[in-house]
Amino acid sequence: MIFITAKFPVKSEHADAWPEISQWFTDACNAEEGCLFFEWSRSVANPNEYVLLEAFRDDDAAAAHVGSDAFKRATEELPSYLSRTPDIVNMKVDGWSELGELAVK
């Protein structure tokens, strides 16, 4: 699986509205055949930062995502709401593992 985490620094005047601003992109990505998940969380430490967790089945699915009309639209429209370029981590992983230190018994 291709696992991606990105931190989106949203301009303060748009931070509260970011879920609505990005909803069309979120919906389009989650509808992609190879998308396993595309989810936003708001930082507790910085209310102007949103963390995006996304995963794609494989390289082909990730390539289809980057080549999609929604991705192209996002690259054109979403930067105007950001205070700087997002940071990203992108890697291949085998999938989820249990967090043994917090095992529920």
Element (H, E) at 104: none
Q: Could you tell me the two tokens for 10?
A: 């949203």
Encode pLDDT of 43-85 as tens digits: 999 999 999 999 999 999 999 999 999 999 999 999 999 999 9
Question: Residue 103 has what pLDDT?
Answer: 94
pLDDT of res. 9: 98
Mean pLDDT for the chain overall: 97
> Roughly how many angstroms between the first and final C-alpha of the chain, as a whole number?
29
Per domain, the residue ranges of the chain are 2-94
Q: What is the pLDDT of residue 58?
A: 97
pLDDT, mean of residues 9-32: 98
The class of domain 2-94 in CATH terms is: alpha beta
Q: Residue 45 carries which side chain, given as an amino acid letter?
A: A
Is the CB of residue 37 less than 8 Å from the CB of residue 53?
A: yes
Mean pLDDT of 14-35: 98
**Confidence class for position 4, pLDDT limits 50, 70, 90:** very high
Task: Report helix, strand or coil for 99.
Answer: coil
DSSP 56: E
CA distances from 63 to 8, 11, 15 (A): 21, 29, 29
